Chain A
Amino acid sequence: MRTVVIGAGAVGAACALALTEAGAEVIVLDRAGVAAETSSRCEGNILVSDKGPGPEADLAILANRTWRELAKRLDDEPAPGRPATEFEAKGGVVVAFGAGAGALEEFAATQRAIGIRAVPVSAAELRELEPHLSDAVDAGVHYPDDAQVQPSLATQAMLAHALRLGAEFRIAEVIGARHAHGRITGVDTSDGVVEADAVVNCAGPWAGAVAELLGGRLDIRPRRGVILVTTPMRQRVFHKVYDADYVGAVGSADAALQTSTVVESTPAGTVLIGSSRERVGFSAEDMLPPLAEIAAKATRLFPFLADTMLLRSYFGFRPYTPDHLPAIGEDGDVAGLFHAAGHEGAGIGLAPTTGELIAHAVLGSPAPLDPTPFLPTRAGLRSAA
């Protein structure tokens, strides 16, 4: 089975790896190169803490286990041009200010009911986990299973591994499709025609445009996110630390700027501070309000940050679906066209299991979980918003 994967971000690389391992002949196409966009403009989250009960939580719990095994497999075989994933099972701490504590504990209880480890921690225990937290924080929940990778490096490692197993990678932009008898039979690219039995659309925030180009339909939109990076320092943040309002922002459909604090250290000694969510198209304008609001909220959580220097900041676009679930499976109109996109801020974390779901859809290999809730043909994706 000759399969074209469009997009060399984390989801594309994971799909390429899963398809190659399941026996397909895989050609990955990207217009800019590996991890050139969303997968190198994010935090590399592998989270269970932000998922309430539902299909996405089921996917996240499974993907969290898969990542541990995959990262070990990738990192155990270093090779030139193939970086380590920097997988860190550092755990997450979600904290609440004042009245938010009750809502946080209620949310954690629903998570424990589906098997997520969510351990309430007292004010004293919080100080042990994170000694530099603001005194104003007095309640929190510890999520030992939250983890992180360096997203660009992890994507590069997944793709390099797929290439070693026989997949092929070309830098080319997809500009059209070949069809025969209602089936896709290949794609036209800036570098000629590539024939295929199946095409997997992993174009992230551009997946809607790519679907249309190939005759399919998928409602995916960009949602801008900004991250601040400080200069390197002695480690003073030990987990992924979030403000409890994170959960509300992820689930929201509001187009206006929303921010919630996420603070964590990296192996390089820098501190990453996120994050914002805005639906402004692919715009680079009006960056100051999100930058300033993130900074203000981060210093509320960790007062010492006020005196640290910003080294750089970057922004990217997450692929957003109206019903907040990724679209994974075959297109409703074009046979042989598959989508794996719309993971919003969870694409890195959900990538390996998404790859397995795509291998199931394309090749019929065993499904890691019930694929139904994620199918691109579901009602929630078809509604014009």
Chain B
Amino acid sequence: MTRRVAILGAGPAGLAAAEAALSAGADVVVLDEGERIGGQYWRHHEQLTDRRMQHQHARFARLGRVAEAATVHREASVWRVDTAHGIRVHALVGPADGSDREALTIDADALVIATGAHDRALPVPGWTLPGVITAGAAQALAKRDGAIVGERTVVAGSGPFLLPVADSIALAGGSVAEVVEAAGVAAIARGWGRAPWQLAGVAGKAGELAQYAGGLLRRRTPFRFGQAVTRIHGQGHVEAVTVQHVDAQWRPVAGTERTVTCDSVALGHGFTPRLEAAIQAGCDLSPERFVVVDDRQATSVASVFAAGEVTGIGGADTALAEGAVAGFAAAGGSLDDRRISGAVRARKRMHAFATRLATHAIGPGWTGWLDEDTIICRCESVTRARLSEYAAASSRAMRLATRAGLGACQGRTCGRTVETLIAADVDFDRRPVLSSIRIGELARLHHAEHKEQE
């Protein structure tokens, strides 16, 4: 009997999983919340996207063909994943603000969780000013809409992701004032052995990074190592930033402040995996809060697999390899099968790259650039001082007293930062309902089930 594989996410990991599962003979259903498949990495628009920002486009074009053989639900908000009595996924399909979304219930023999990651921005005094966006948002704006957030942008944070962000802004017609990387030159040399764009032996990645770096050089964009944006200035809008040296722990070094004039800031301090679906499915997490998988990409829950950023931040190539292995295994394929040996080898190679990303991990000293009145939770305007007042309470008590993480984003933006500042786990990503749903849509499920029983 044909196995049915449900895949959450149509980014690199999800699409590679779909392709591999199809090749192993499975019946495949892919659900993605975007209007178009491709995820954040291949975010695009048929008319508006500049082709120069579409990396590995041939690969995407090939993977896009899975849509011909698999059932692909776009604009699908998965709001519940149950694994207690077999795998069942509940989703609503249609524009998120539409009032007549179609309710979808999918029963499957196996599930691949490829929900990716959010980009993360650490709070900085002044970061609530208009003109400050996350690096991921700046890139999405450039890729999908060909739009820029300002005329002169400072790109700041950490990790190789800053390179394509700066590149996209420039290609979309913006000017990048500086790229500010918190990891120091010494740390990068230790971690990478050489500059990341010179990394040999990692096919694809090296070439891609070299291309971005070349763009920066050509445009004479300054690239600062061991520095951070520690304050954002402006009256009603971004006018300048303070850039400052930070030590190996990311502690700001007094006396090194420098003012850079700009009208926009793109902040990106790495990524946070989107774990909600995996947590609801019951998957074990590592102490570093990633989904634990074995060499088949199988999670701790029977027939549930995971691939891509939810299992560890590794970038698109890692996700592609892991996705292929996960999809093949979910379809019942064996890793000894020659059809999957290429992906298994690529995964091993890419894990070496992913390990090096630790060079850019957030240092604990960043809290040194916060003021007492810096807003941490933007939805509910909760300051650092207010959080400190309740740092000793239980996490639930802290949340309810300060309202941190209780607003529209439900801690998706501030969750990890709040946890750092109160030095305790809050479990923001453990929730009974995964995405926005109307009370009426939930009610329909009850009416439908009762009709079945009659």
Q: Check B397 for interface membership: any CB of A closer than 8 A.
A: yes
Give min CB distance, A162 to chain B, whole Å.
14
Q: Check A153 for interface membership: any CB of B closer than 8 A.
A: yes
Chain B residues whose C-beta falls within 8 Å of the C-beta of A123 in the assembled complex: none
Knowing that A268-B406, A295-B446, A305-B440 are A-B contacts, what are 16 other residue pairs whose CB atoms are under 8 Å apart, sorted by A's residue number?
A36-B396, A40-B394, A285-B84, A286-B84, A288-B90, A289-B449, A293-B446, A295-B443, A306-B439, A308-B438, A308-B439, A309-B437, A310-B436, A312-B410, A313-B432, A313-B433
Mask, A270-294, CB within 8 Å of B = 1, is 0001000000000001111101110
Q: A155-B397, A299-B443 are in contact. Are A310 and B438 (CB under 8 A)?
A: yes
Mask, B422-445, CB within 8 Å of A = 1, is 000000000111001111101101
CA distance A307 to B442 in the complex (A): 11
Q: How many A-B residue pairs have CB under 8 A?
A: 118
Residues of B45-77 whose CB lies within 8 A of A:
none
Interface size class of A (residues with CB under 8 A): 35 or more
Q: Check B203 for interface membership: any CB of A closer than 8 A.
A: no
Residues of B185-206 whose CB lies within 8 A of A:
none
CA distance A37 to B406 in the complex (A): 17
Q: A288-B82, A292-B449 are in contact. Are A299 and B397 (CB under 8 A)?
A: no
Chain A residues whose C-beta falls within 8 Å of the C-beta of B90 in the assembled complex: 288
B446 touches A311 (CB 8 A): no
B432 touches A315 (CB 8 A): yes
Q: Check B80 for interface membership: any CB of A closer than 8 A.
A: yes
Give min CB distance, A65 to chain B, whole Å.
26
Q: A288-B445, A310-B436, A311-B410 are in contact. Are A156 and B397 (CB under 8 A)?
A: yes
B393 touches A33 (CB 8 A): yes
Q: A299-B439, A307-B438, A310-B433 are in contact. Are A288 and B396 (CB under 8 A)?
A: no
Chain A residues whose C-beta falls within 8 Å of the C-beta of B408 in the assembled complex: 231, 311
Q: Check A150 for interface membership: any CB of B closer than 8 A.
A: yes
Q: Check B390 for interface membership: any CB of A closer than 8 A.
A: yes
Q: Check A96 for interface membership: any CB of B closer than 8 A.
A: no
Q: Check B400 for interface membership: any CB of A closer than 8 A.
A: yes
Mask, B390-426, CB within 8 Å of A = 1, is 1011111100110100101010000000000000000
Cross-interface CB contact of A295 among B431, B436, B442, B449, cutoff 8 Å: B442
Q: Check B389 for interface membership: any CB of A closer than 8 A.
A: yes
Give min CB distance, B157 to chain A, whole Å.
29
B99 and chain A: residue at smallest CB distance: A307
A292 touches B446 (CB 8 A): yes
Give min CB distance, A292 to chain B, whole Å.
4
Name 12 interchain pairs, CB-CB below 8 A, sorted by A. A8-B394, A34-B393, A34-B397, A153-B401, A156-B393, A273-B439, A292-B442, A299-B439, A308-B438, A308-B439, A310-B436, A312-B406
Q: Check B338 for interface membership: any CB of A closer than 8 A.
A: no
Chain A residues whose C-beta falls within 8 Å of the C-beta of B345 in the assembled complex: none
A291 and chain B: residue at smallest CB distance: B442
Q: Check B218 for interface membership: any CB of A closer than 8 A.
A: no
A33 and chain B: residue at smallest CB distance: B394
A270 and chain B: residue at smallest CB distance: B406
B80 and chain A: residue at smallest CB distance: A288
CA distance A314 to B403 in the complex (A): 15
Chain A residues whose C-beta falls within 8 Å of the C-beta of B439 in the assembled complex: 228, 230, 273, 295, 298-299, 305-310
B432 touches A287 (CB 8 A): yes
Chain A residues whose C-beta falls within 8 Å of the C-beta of B396 in the assembled complex: 35-37, 40-41, 152
B400 touches A40 (CB 8 A): yes
Q: A273-B439, A299-B443 are in contact. Are A152 and B432 (CB under 8 A)?
A: no
CA distance A292 to B410 in the complex (A): 21
The B contact surface, by secondary structure, is mixed
Cross-interface CB contact of B432 among A80, A291, A306, cutoff 8 Å: A291
Q: A35-B396, A292-B445, A312-B433 are in contact. Are A83 and B401 (CB under 8 A)?
A: yes
Cross-interface CB contact of B397 among A33, A80, A289, A309, cutoff 8 Å: A33
CA distance A230 to B449 in the complex (A): 23
Chain A residues whose C-beta falls within 8 Å of the C-beta of B99 in the assembled complex: 307
Give min CB distance, A324 to chain B, whole Å.
27
Q: A306-B439, A311-B410 are in contact. Are A81 and B390 (CB under 8 A)?
A: yes
Chain B residues whose C-beta falls within 8 Å of the C-beta of A307 in the assembled complex: 99, 438-440
CA distance A179 to B392 in the complex (A): 32
B437 touches A36 (CB 8 A): no
B433 and chain A: residue at smallest CB distance: A313
Q: Check A211 for interface membership: any CB of B closer than 8 A.
A: no
B440 and chain A: residue at smallest CB distance: A306
Chain A residues whose C-beta falls within 8 Å of the C-beta of B394 in the assembled complex: 8, 30, 32-36, 40
Cross-interface CB contact of B440 among A228, A299, A312, cutoff 8 Å: A299
Chain A residues whose C-beta falls within 8 Å of the C-beta of B445 in the assembled complex: 288, 292
Give min CB distance, B103 to chain A, whole Å.
11
A83 and chain B: residue at smallest CB distance: B401
Mask, A98-121, CB within 8 Å of B = 1, is 000000000000000000000000
Q: Check A226 for interface membership: any CB of B closer than 8 A.
A: yes
Q: Check A296 for interface membership: any CB of B closer than 8 A.
A: yes
CA distance A287 to B432 in the complex (A): 7
Give min CB distance, A265 to chain B, whole Å.
14
CA distance A41 to B445 in the complex (A): 24
CA distance A299 to B439 in the complex (A): 8
Cross-interface CB contact of A156 among B80, B395, B401, B447, cutoff 8 Å: B401
CA distance A309 to B97 in the complex (A): 10
Give min CB distance, B451 to chain A, whole Å.
12
CA distance A32 to B439 in the complex (A): 32
CA distance A309 to B80 in the complex (A): 15
A152 touches B436 (CB 8 A): no
Q: What are the 9 tightest A-B residue pairs by CB atom distance, in nearest-first order?
A: A33-B394, A306-B440, A292-B446, A36-B394, A295-B442, A296-B446, A152-B400, A296-B443, A295-B443
A306 touches B438 (CB 8 A): yes
Chain A residues whose C-beta falls within 8 Å of the C-beta of B449 in the assembled complex: 289, 292
Mask, B377-394, CB within 8 Å of A = 1, is 000000000000110111
Chain A residues whose C-beta falls within 8 Å of the C-beta of B393 in the assembled complex: 33-35, 81, 156
A81 touches B392 (CB 8 A): yes
A36 touches B397 (CB 8 A): yes
A226 and chain B: residue at smallest CB distance: B432
CA distance A7 to B393 in the complex (A): 14
Mask, A74-109, CB within 8 Å of B = 1, is 000000110100000000000000000000000000
B398 and chain A: residue at smallest CB distance: A33
Chain A residues whose C-beta falls within 8 Å of the C-beta of B438 in the assembled complex: 306-310
Query: Most chain-A CB neighbours within 10 Å: which of B389, B396, B403, B433?
Result: B396
Give min CB distance, A312 to chain B, whole Å.
6
Chain B residues whose C-beta falls within 8 Å of the C-beta of A315 in the assembled complex: 432
Residues of A1-57 whose CB lies within 8 A of B:
8, 30, 32-37, 40-41
